[in-house]
Structures are given as structure tokens and as C-alpha cells.
Amino acid sequence: MIAVTVLGELFFGAEKSARRDANMAKYDAFAAEYSVLECRAETAKHYSLIRNALRIKGRPIPDNDIWIAALAMQHDLTLITRDAHFDEVEGLKSEKW
């Protein structure tokens, strides 16, 4: 499974790259192999809880990453990441790759 936000970031990277068409084709093929998790009202509730907790801690992270964390928590998934700032999200299961 892949979060729609992650897919958006991949497509954005392809859009601004020097090899736009090749990269878009690569990410289209990648997206076709996985279920895409979309944001819904429940996701927005998770987003608000995470964002507020980070605000209280004084440890904000990028908004797109809050949406990614919200989807992972909503679906009780382990987030695979190299970004250490996800460690700031209480209750998020993550694994470093």
C-alpha cells in the first residue's frame, strides 16, 4: 500500500526532473502495482490529532508527512521511512530503511 500523498510527492519529483517522461512512466508503473490509500474524514481526524500534538510539543514536521502518518495510523500500518522526524509522532509505528 502507498499513501496518496507519497504518490503525489513521487509524481512531483518526476514532474520537475530532467527526465520527466521516463520518471512519470516509472512511477505510473509503480502506482499500478500497489493499493493507493486515499484521505477521508477519518484521516483528517488523525491529521488534526497528530498536528496538534506536534504543535504542543513544539516539534512540527512537514504537512505532507503529517498526512502520511495519519494514513498509517488510521490503517494501523508500519511506516517505512528514512525521515527521523516521524519519530516525533506519538503512537506511529515506523521502521527505518
Q: Where are the domains of the chain?
A: 2-37, 41-96
Cβ pair 5, 71 in contact under 8 A: yes
The domain over range 41-96 is classified in CATH as 3.40.50.1010: yes
Instruction: State the chain's maximal CA–CA distance in angstroms.
Output: 43
What pLDDT sits at residue 97?
A: 86
Dump pLDDT digits (tens) for 8-51. Answer: 999 999 999 999 999 999 999 999 999 999 999 999 999 999 99
Q: Strand pairing of 36-37 and 2-3?
A: parallel
- The answer for residues whose C-beta is within 8 angstroms of residue 44's C-beta and 6 or more apart is 70
The angle, 0 to 180 degrees and rounded to 10, between the axes of the packed helices 63-74 and 4-15 is: 140
Report whether pLDDT(54) > 90. yes
